[in-house]
Amino acid sequence: MGATMNLTIDGITPGLAGSLFQSPGTGVATPYLGCNIYVTQLNVAALFLTDANGDASVPVNVPNNPALCGAQLVVQGAVWSGTGSVLGMDVTNALELQVGTAPPSGGTFPNDWIHGSANCNTNTDPPIQVHQYAPRTWILRQNACLNYEAPFMYLMIGDTKAMLIDSGATSSASLFPIQATVQGLLDTYEAANNLPDLDLVVAHSHSHGDHRQGDGQFVGQPNTTVVGASLGSVQSFFGFSSWPTQQVTYDLGGRVLEILAVPGHHSTHIAFYDAETGALFTGDTLYPGFLFIPSLNSYKQSIARLTAFAQTRTITDILGGHIEMQATAGVWYPYGTVYQPNERVLQLTAAHLFELNMSIQAITGSTTQIHNDFIINVF
């Protein structure tokens, strides 16, 4: 029996892709209906499959292994780039292709983020710093001289949609042109990749004002949807039917985000995991600064769920909403400062999440607990 791998990859026909998977050996046609495949390269050396967690090879002759579904599969070697659907696969032939889980790309960071000024009248930084973290991911930081919160915002682009997580702490488009900045990034990306206008979703880590003041700039713009601030709006937009324990996905086109409800800092708080980069976007639930926790029990459960989730994913960076710690361990900036000349880097690791989980589960009431890279503050 020959191969039954059928792919649709950027318009490449199933026949062509299938022929590349032709097997001279005997085998069992094994359908992987509904799986996504992300083909970056092609190689005719060996075939193996790894599971959704990037663990060691799953025996390729196991039919209908559910661990292979819902994950990105990568053909490693050297021919194509694109996305499609795995309709079927002869996995008993172990001699033609390498197929494995897409390793998260991770990303890069600038040497310095803009961090305000001792005298904002002489501040010459742009209102928004734009940093390309990965090929389809940008980190934006608001100038602290516009608002001491100096939040971070994140833009991710998929094949058909883009998502902005958070819109900043200032509403004025002239002072803080977040919509124009994001549209400029989209326009440049679309032109470079010969793409039509992408739909933009403006979502939020949570509904505190410093994360959504820029929303008004996006309302009424073409191809743009702004997720509402209410809990009901968040739940209905992302399809949560069982809040907060349910885990949902949102597909940007060849880039499926996993979304968890993480109330505790705020009732609407959600976290986003991006398998393309391995980044976990945690908003104000976890960042290098003051973790303000008005709802301890909700927060404990959220951090427990987030920890369990992170243990089954490759987390390259945990990216939150602010920086309030100094580069010196355990030292913070005073609340409201607009000048952070020696601030800690933005990125945290899964180890920080595990450290937070260990600590928070033992806390039973109001407390302030200073860690090297964050401060737990239970009201």
Strand partners of residue 332: 325
CB of 210 to Zn ion, least distance (A): 5
Please choose, out of 13-21, 119-127, 259-267, 281-289, the segment that lies near Zn ion by the rule CB under 5 A: 281-289
Please choose, out of 4-12, 82-90, 173-181, 204-212, the segment that lies near Zn ion by the rule CB under 5 A: 204-212
**Smaller CB distance to Zn ion: residue 278 or 321?**
321
Residues 286/320, Cβ–Cβ less than 8 Å? yes
CA distances from 248 to 206, 228, 245, 363 (A): 16, 18, 10, 29
CB of 85 to Zn ion, least distance (A): 38
CB of 332 to Zn ion, least distance (A): 15
CB of 183 to Zn ion, least distance (A): 24
For residue 279, which phi and psi values (nearest 5 degrees)? -80, 140
CB of 9 to Zn ion, least distance (A): 40
Please choose, out of 179-187, 217-225, 282-290, 352-360, the segment that lies near Zn ion by the rule CB under 5 A: 282-290
Cα dihedral 264→268→269→273 (10° resolution): 140
**Smaller CB distance to Zn ion: residue 96 or 284?**
284
Question: Crossing angle for the helix pair 350-361 and 296-310, nearest 10 degrees?
Answer: 140
Number of residue whose CB is nearest Zn ion = 284
For residue 302, which phi and psi values (nearest 5 degrees)? -65, -45
**Smaller CB distance to Zn ion: residue 358 or 379?**
379
**Smaller CB distance to Zn ion: residue 32 or 152?**
152
Q: Using the rule CB under 5 A, is 210 a contact of Zn ion?
A: yes
CA distances from 27 to 6, 64, 83, 263, 306 (A): 15, 14, 26, 48, 40
How many residues of this chain interact with Zn ion, rule: CB under 5 A? 3
CB of 226 to Zn ion, least distance (A): 18
CB of 339 to Zn ion, least distance (A): 18
Q: Using the rule CB under 5 A, is 288 a contact of Zn ion?
A: no
Please choose, out of 24-32, 47-55, 205-213, 270-278, the segment that lies near Zn ion by the rule CB under 5 A: 205-213
Q: Using the rule CB under 5 A, is 90 a contact of Zn ion?
A: no
Q: Which residues, numbered 308-367, are part of the site for Zn ion (CB under 5 A)?
A: 321
How many beta carbons lie within 10 A of that of residue 269, not counting itself?
Answer: 28
The residue within the footprint of Zn ion, chosen from 284, 317, 324, 343 (CB under 5 A), is 284
Strand partners of residue 306: none
**Smaller CB distance to Zn ion: residue 84 or 283?**
283
Q: Read off the tokens for 332.
A: 């913070």
Please choose, out of 49-57, 114-122, 279-287, 363-371, the segment that lies near Zn ion by the rule CB under 5 A: 279-287
CB of 36 to Zn ion, least distance (A): 33
**Smaller CB distance to Zn ion: residue 209 or 341?**
209
Binding site for Zn ion (CB under 5 A): 210, 284, 321
